[in-house]
Structure 1
Amino acid sequence: MNYFKRPLGLILLLLIVTSCGSYFSQPLDIQNARIGETTDATYTLRNLPPPTAPAVVGVYRFEDQTGQFKQTENGSTFSNAVTQGGTTILIKALEDSRWFTPIERENLDNLLNERQIINTTRKDYALQTGTQQQPLPALLYAGVLIEGGIVSYDTNVLTGGVGARYFGAGGSSKYRQDRVTIYLRAVNTQTGKIAKTVYVSKSIYSQAVDASLFRYVNFRRLLEAETGFTRNEPGQLAVKEAIEKAVEALIIEGIEVGLWYPEGGDTVAQKLITDYRSEKEVAERTDVYQRELLDRRSKWRFEAGAGGTYANNDLGNPYYEYSLTAGLKYNLSPFLGINAQGNGYRIKNTGLLNRQFVSTDLNLEFTVLPYEKFSPFIYAGPGINFANSFKISDFKAQAGLGFEYLISPSIGIKVYGDYNVVFSDQMDYEVAGVRDDQYYKFGAGINIYLGNNQAKENSPNYIQRREARELKRLSKRQNENDSTGIIVDSLSRKRTNQNSNQGQ
C-alpha cells in the first residue's frame, strides 16, 4: 500500500503548488488603497509614438449593452455581469494614449449648468463693482465622436478540470473561461460618417484548486483536512484591457485611412501598420478557444513507412512479418486528400506459409484536425494485390486509422494500422470456407510535405530566410547600380580628357 501513497502524495503536491501563488500570498491584514492596476495593453498604449497633433474627441456613452446579470450556482442575481463604468474606462484609455484630447460629454448638463452659474456670478459681480468681466472661453468641440459598447459577455465558454482520490485522500483542479467582447467606432462629427470600427474580445479565466484528506488514523480517531484556493480574473480589468486594445487598434487603423498621423513620418507609420497587420492576421486565424488555425499541411506529401503484417487466412499459426510502404498524397482540402501507395510485404503462418506480396492502394484520407500539429486520420479505398512477381493480381480493399504529429512545418511522424481484404482465397494456397483471405498491416513512418503552407510561411526560420534572400537581392541590385555608376563615370572622364586633348 505504501507504493500507492507516494505517487498520490506527489499528485496532491503538484495540484497545490501549480499555479497557486494566490494560496501562498493570502491577505492576513487590512490592505491599503493603491494606484489602479495596469495591463499589458496599458503599457503598449503608453509606448505608442506620439501623434503630430492630438485629436479632440468626445465620448457620450460607452455602456454595457449585454443586459446580462451575474451568474451564480443557484441562478442569477440582480448585479450586472460586467462593469457599468465603461465610459470612464474608455476616457482614461484615450488619455493614456496621448493621441486624443477627450472632452466632457457624458455629464454635459452638469458642465453647462456650472458655466451658467459662473456667468451669472460674474455678471452680478460686475454690476456691484462696476468692472468689466471677461467672458468664459468657448467650449471645445469634438472633431470625432467615439461610440460603441460592451456587446457580449459569454460565460462558461470553456470548462474543465482534473482530480484524483485514493482511500479518502485526493485533490482536484477546475478551470473556467468566460469572454467579453466590445466594439469601438470613430464617427466624423461634420459628416456623420463612420470612419472606422474595431472589434476586440478578451478571455476571462477562473481557477479552483483543492485537496482534502478523510482518514481513520486509529480506532475512533478520524483525521479530516482540506485546503485550496479559487482565483478569478477581475471582470473590470478584463474590460479595461479590451478597451485599451480597441483604442490601440483604432489609432493604427485610423493612420491607415488618414484620420491622424504619427510623428516621425512614413517610416514610423509604416512600421505600426505592418506590425498591426501581422497581429491581425494571427488573430483572424485564431479561434475562440485560442487555437491558431494554420493550414499546416501542404498540398503535396511524400510518405514512407515500415512495420509488420499479421495474417487472417485459412491456415493456423499466423505470425508477424515485415511490411514496407511509400506513397504520394494530394490534399484536395485541409480535411480531405487522395493518397496513392505502393507496398511490399510478407504473410506468414509459422511452419506453413511465408509468401511475398506487392500491393498498390488508392485511398481517400480524412484528416480530423488539419490545423493542429497532432491529428488522427482515417482512410479507405480500393487496391490491387500482386503475387509471384506480378504474375498474379487480385483486387482488394482496405481501411485504416492513424495518428500524425508534425515535428516541423515540413516533416511529420505517424503510426498507422489498417485492415485489408483481398478478393481471393488463394493467398495462402488454401481454399476453404466462404471468406476471402485477409490481413492486418501496421507500422510507423514519416511524412514529408512539399511546397509552402501557412505554418511554413509563419515560422521564424522561414521568415528569417525570406528576409535574408530579400536583403541579398537588394544588396546585389545596389552593387550592380554602383558598378554601372562607376563605368559611366569612367567613360565620362575619358571623353572629357579626349575633348580636352583635341582642343589643345
Structure 2
Amino acid sequence: MRHSLNKLAILLLTLLLTSCGAYFNQPTTPQDARISEKTQVTRTLETFPLPADPIVVGVYNFKDQTGQYKNVENGSTFSTAVTQGATTILIKALEDSQWFRPIERENLGNLLNERNIIRTTRDEYRTTQNEPPKRISPLLFAGILLEGGVISYDSNILTGGVGARYFGAGTSSQYRQDRITVYLRAISTSTGEVLKTVNVSKTILSQGVDVGLFKYVNFQRLLEVETGFTKNEPAQLAVQEAIEKAVEILILEGLKDKLWATKSGPETDQELIAAYNLEQEVENATGLYERAYHDHDYRHTASGGMGVAFIDGDYTTGVIDFMGSLGYKYRILPEISIGLQAQIFKLNATSDNIKWWLSESAQVEYNILPHDKLAPFIYGGPGLVLFADDTEEENLSRWDAFFKLQLGAGLEYAFSDRVSLVAQADWNSVFSDKLDNFIGGRRNDFYYNIGIGINYHFGSNKTKLKHKRK
C-alpha cells in the first residue's frame, strides 16, 4: 500500500506544480460580484497617446454574424456560441481608447422618443402662452460609422491530449481550441467611402487534467482516488479582446494613412507606426496554430555537422563512435531539394575491430513544412561507402567500395532566413556482409548515423519563386 501511495503522491505533485493556478483556486463558496476583468489589450488602449481631435463615431449594430450555437454532446441547444452584446463591447472599447466619441445609434428610436417627450412636456408647462419654447440641444452627428461584426466561430480547430497509466495509477490531460474572428470597418458619412477595414482572430482554449489511482492494496481492499480540473477560457473575454484589438489596429491604420493624428505630434505618430509595422511583420510570418512562417527564397544550402555512427552487423559488441559530414543542397521547390553529402565515420564492431570509412551519397529531400521555423523532413538516396583504413584485413582491402542505400529523417529549426539547426538520423544498407570484416549468415550489415549540424542558405532567386507562387 505504501508503494501505491507513493506513486499517487508523485502524480498529485506533478498535477499541482504544472497547473497550480487553476487547482488552488477551486471555488468552494459563492463569490461576490466584481468589476469585469481587463484584458491586456484594454490596458494598451487606456495608455494610448491621446488624439489631436477625438472622432465622433456611430455604431448602429456590431452583431454576431456566425449563426453558431453552442456544442452539446446530446440533444440540441438554442444558446449561441458568441455573445449577442458585441455592440456594447465595441462602444466600451471606443471609450477606453479616448480616440472616439461614441454616440447612441443602436437604440436611436428610444432616444428620439425621449426627446419628443421632453419637447411635449416643456410645451405643456410653459408659464405663459407667449413664452418661447425651450430648445433641446441638437444631436451630434457622426463623421464616421463603424460597421462589421463577429463573422466566424470555429469549433475544435485543434484538439488533443496525453496520458499514461501504470498498474492502476495514471494521469491524463486534454485540450480543445476554438477560434473567433471579427471584422471592423470605418465608413465616411459624408461620402460613404469605406476608409479602413481590419480583422482580428482570437483563440479560445479549454483544457482538462485528471489524476487517478485504482488499485487493490490488499485482499478484497480496493483503493480508488481521483482529482482534476477543467478550465475553459470565457468566450465573452475572447470576443472583448478581439474587438479591442480591432479598435487598436483601426487607430494605427488611420495613423498610417494620415486619417487622424496624435496630440503629441508627428514624432509619436512615427513611433507608433514603426512598432505596428514590426508587429505586422511578425503576424504575416505566423500562420494558423501560431506557426511561425518564413519564405524560402534561397536556392542553395551548404551544411556541416557531426554526430555518432554505430554498426548493426554480425557482432553483438558494436560501440557508438564518431561521425562528421559536409553537404550541399539545391532547392527545386520549397518542399523538394536535391544534393550531395560526404561523411567520414568510425564503425566499432569490437574493441579490436575499429575502422574508418568514407561515404558519398546523392540525396532527395522532402521538407514536410517548408515555411515553418520548425520543420520535419525525410531524405534518401543511393551512394558509395569506401573502406579508408591503412591496414589490410581478411575480408577488406584498402579502398574497398560498397554500394549503399540511405533513408533518414530529421528536424530543421530556422534561427534566421540564412541559418538553421538540423538534427537528423539515417539508416544505411550496404548490401554486403563485409562491413564488420566478418562474413556469417545470410543477413547483410547495416549502420546508423545520428547527428546535428548547421545549414547555411544562400543564392536567393526571388523572381522565380514569386513567378511560381503566382
Output the TM-score relative to the length of structure 1.
0.77
Of 355-364 and 240-249, deviating more is 355-364
Which of 441, 445, 453 in structure 2 is aligned with 1:446? 453
Offset from partner CA, 1:131-164 (integer Å, 9 cap, x none): 2233212211111100000111111122222333
Residue 97 of structure 1: how far off its partner (Å): 0.6
Residue 392 of structure 1: how far off its partner (Å): 7.5
Which residue of the partner structure matches residue 74 of structure 1?
74
Offset from partner CA, 1:344-397 (integer Å, 9 cap, x none): 457788799987654432212223344556544322234355568999797845
- 1:50-449 alignment to 2 at 5 Å? 50-126=50-126, 128=128, 130-216=130-216, 221-294=221-294, 299-308=300-309, 310=311, 324-344=324-344, 358-370=358-370, 375-384=375-384, 396=403, 398-404=405-411, 406=413, 408-409=415-416, 410=419, 412-421=421-430, 439-449=446-456
Residue 437 of structure 1: how far off its partner (Å): 7.5
Residue 25 of structure 1: how far off its partner (Å): 2.5
Pair 134,217 (structure 1): closer, same or farther in 2 beyond 3 Å: same
Contact 1:377 1:402 in 2 (8 A): yes
Contact 2:307 2:323 in 1 (8 A): yes
Partner Cα separation in structure 2 for residue 215 and residue 305 of structure 1: 48
Pair 75,133 (structure 1): closer, same or farther in 2 beyond 3 Å: same
Contact 1:311 1:347 in 2 (8 A): no
Of 10-19 and 350-359, deviating more is 350-359
Pair 370,137 (structure 1): closer, same or farther in 2 beyond 3 Å: same
Contact 2:338 2:365 in 1 (8 A): yes
Contact 2:294 2:373 in 1 (8 A): no
Partner Cα separation in structure 1 for residue 241 and residue 404 of structure 2: 57
Offset from partner CA, 1:448-473 (integer Å, 9 cap, x none): 425599xxxxxxxxxxxxxxxxxxxx
SS at match of 1:140: coil
Contact 1:326 1:343 in 2 (8 A): yes
Residue 13 of structure 1: how far off its partner (Å): 2.3
Pair 21,309 (structure 1): closer, same or farther in 2 beyond 3 Å: closer
Residue 316 of structure 1: how far off its partner (Å): 8.5
Residue 245 of structure 1: how far off its partner (Å): 0.4
Contact 1:375 1:404 in 2 (8 A): yes
Pair 90,445 (structure 1): closer, same or farther in 2 beyond 3 Å: closer
Partner Cα separation in structure 2 for residue 160 and residue 9 of structure 1: 26
Partner Cα separation in structure 2 for residue 452 and residue 397 of structure 1: 31
Offset from partner CA, 1:198-222 (integer Å, 9 cap, x none): 1101111112222334445555555
Pair 277,341 (structure 1): closer, same or farther in 2 beyond 3 Å: same
Pair 347,94 (structure 1): closer, same or farther in 2 beyond 3 Å: closer
Residue 2 of structure 1: how far off its partner (Å): 6.0
SS at match of 2:201: strand
Partner Cα separation in structure 1 for residue 29 and residue 202 of structure 2: 32
Contact 2:323 2:344 in 1 (8 A): yes
Q: Give, as a single letter, the amino acid of the residue that structure 2 aligns with 1:303.
A: G
Structure 1: stretches of 5+ with no match in the other structure = 454-504
Contact 1:176 1:205 in 2 (8 A): yes
Pair 218,394 (structure 1): closer, same or farther in 2 beyond 3 Å: closer
Partner Cα separation in structure 1 for residue 358 and residue 223 of structure 2: 68
Structure 2: stretches of 5+ with no match in the other structure = 390-396, 461-470
Pair 189,407 (structure 1): closer, same or farther in 2 beyond 3 Å: closer
Contact 1:205 1:233 in 2 (8 A): yes
Pair 374,9 (structure 1): closer, same or farther in 2 beyond 3 Å: farther
Q: Give, as a single letter, the amino acid of the residue that structure 2 aligns with 1:163.
A: G
Contact 1:311 1:348 in 2 (8 A): no
Partner Cα separation in structure 1 for residue 306 and residue 145 of structure 2: 63
Residue 105 of structure 1: how far off its partner (Å): 0.5
Which residue of the partner structure matches residue 30 of structure 1?
30
Contact 1:412 1:448 in 2 (8 A): yes
Contact 1:188 1:195 in 2 (8 A): yes
1:45 equivalent to 2:54? Answer no
Offset from partner CA, 1:64-106 (integer Å, 9 cap, x none): 1111111112143111111000111101111111000111110
SS at match of 1:149: strand
Which residue of the partner structure matches residue 489 of structure 1?
none
Q: Give, as a single letter, the amino acid of the residue that structure 2 aligns with 1:133.
A: P
Of 424-433 and 191-200, deviating more is 424-433
Partner Cα separation in structure 1 for residue 176 and residue 83 of structure 2: 20
SS at match of 1:79: coil
User: Matched residue pairs, number?
Assistant: 449
Contact 1:323 1:441 in 2 (8 A): no
Contact 1:16 1:210 in 2 (8 A): no
Pair 18,132 (structure 1): closer, same or farther in 2 beyond 3 Å: same
Contact 1:362 1:381 in 2 (8 A): yes
Which residue of the partner structure matches residue 477 of structure 1?
none
SS at match of 1:185: strand
Q: Give, as a single letter, the amino acid of the residue that structure 2 aligns with 1:104.
A: E
Partner Cα separation in structure 2 for residue 154 and residue 291 of structure 1: 18
Contact 2:377 2:412 in 1 (8 A): no
Pair 348,218 (structure 1): closer, same or farther in 2 beyond 3 Å: closer
Partner Cα separation in structure 1 for residue 437 and residue 132 of structure 2: 122
Residue 62 of structure 1: how far off its partner (Å): 0.4
Pair 361,265 (structure 1): closer, same or farther in 2 beyond 3 Å: same
Identity across the alignment (%):
46
Pair 297,4 (structure 1): closer, same or farther in 2 beyond 3 Å: farther
Q: Give, as a single letter, the amino acid of the residue that structure 1 aligns with 2:449.
A: F
Residue 173 of structure 1: how far off its partner (Å): 2.3
Offset from partner CA, 1:296-338 (integer Å, 9 cap, x none): 99642321335335376xx999967865432223444443323
